[in-house]
Structure 1
């Protein structure tokens, strides 16, 4: 008989597998029929689970689509808070973006999956999802501003810096999406993504080079 630790591990893996199955089923249905045309009951039936099971993993229908993406809401603040001594806020966020580019992370717009690109288009053309994506972006920027304000004691300049850094990340992601959706291959876009990111952060760094340098 498995010990408590093993049993717990198996239960957690099973729960994760179920959540992934429900999410993938929802994505397939949303892409095929449209977000507003698909109900939670239809998702549950297609995933072969109960409607209650769906809500056990995802609080709302919007969470079914947006929840996994929102795991990145803390990325900007986390990069700022975990930077090393001597590193500025620009240094930290630039390093995070360059790492994401090297890893071809979908959160920087370098996905090779057609489904993920189709999801971006679906979000943009669905008002409820577009509003949530905007709120997600605002939350991420606010968290970064709070982290910088706590360290520097200057809420105004912290908010200005966070807005600029969030703007660079958003612009780079949008540019990557735009080029791929326009027909360029992910490989072609990724080949120049690092150079574009370096140029973008250099523009911001001219104004923020002396701000929030960790002692």
Structure 2
């Protein structure tokens, strides 16, 4: 059976999207992000410059394409978690698992080059912060939706979702910063060693554990706003869904 024209166009578009990403990231690795232009990417991929922009609005989007799972990962984990598991617990488990995986990724040449390239470019650092904020908004919307489904449009529930998301993702960011401090302080010859990676994980783990334990205490505060108590009671003692917590894209 011959594929419909719409299906062929969709497959071709997806191939072009992936090919542009691969070509661009190869050029970034070879020359450095700031030395590569969108025109360079278009020429290397044998497409028009406008084709690149049709798929990726900015050069920064090309750099992070396929390498920023934290934008959609926590929210997707919440949405796809199994019945009887906690939204907060699952988002926290996703963030913890992926943050603790970073030192191992940085031991690989590709991971180290990605991190170094990001740190070397002011525009990439700005874009990374924008992506983090996008991830925070996505997680807040996912948390709000799951709680509204359970208790309805209760006053203040959106604020609880926004604060919960901000706390979870900020903790992940701080833990990553602690890991990078450990790695940068190590002897250059040992930075890619297993021992340094383990020390980075050990130093970042307390912050990750502390924020996970803190949510359960909200319902125990007599002065907590009603929406905070209601959400904390909903989430109390619910386990995470380990299946979606360990997947980059559940």
TM-score exceeds 0.5: yes
2:24 and 2:63 in contact (8 A); partners too: yes
The structural deviation recorded for 1:92 is 0.6
User: Structure 1: how far apart are the matches of 2:130 and 2:235?
Assistant: 29
Q: Please state whether the residue corresponding to 2:191 is helix, strand or coil.
A: coil
Once residues 146 and 19 of structure 1 are traced to their aligned partners in structure 2, the CA distance between those partners, rounded to angstroms, is 27
Tell me what 2:29 maps to.
31
Largest Rg, 1 or 2: 2
Partner of 2:167: 164
Distance 2:5 2:194 in 1: 41
Matched, 1:213 2:208: no
Question: CA offset at residue 58 of structure 1?
Answer: 2.0
The CA distance in 2 between the partners of 1:197 and 1:90, in whole Å, is 19
Name the Cα RMSD after superposition. 3.6
Structure 1 residue 80 corresponds to structure 2 residue 73: no
- 1:51-72 deviations in Å (ceiling 9; x for gaps): 3432343232222112333454
Task: Report the TM-score, using the length of structure 1 for normalisation.
Answer: 0.73
Structure 1 residue runs of 5 or longer lacking an equivalent are: none
- For 2:194 and 2:169, how far apart are their aligned partners in 1? 25
Question: Is this contact kept in 2: 1:109–1:174, CA < 8 A?
Answer: no
Q: Which runs of 5+ in 2 are unaligned?
A: 149-153, 220-231, 239-250
Cα contact 1:98–1:197 (8 A) shared by 2: no
Separation of aligned partners in 2, 1:73 and 1:194: 21
Give the aligned partner of residue 59 of structure 2.
61
The alignment's TM-score, normalised by the length of structure 2, stands at 0.64
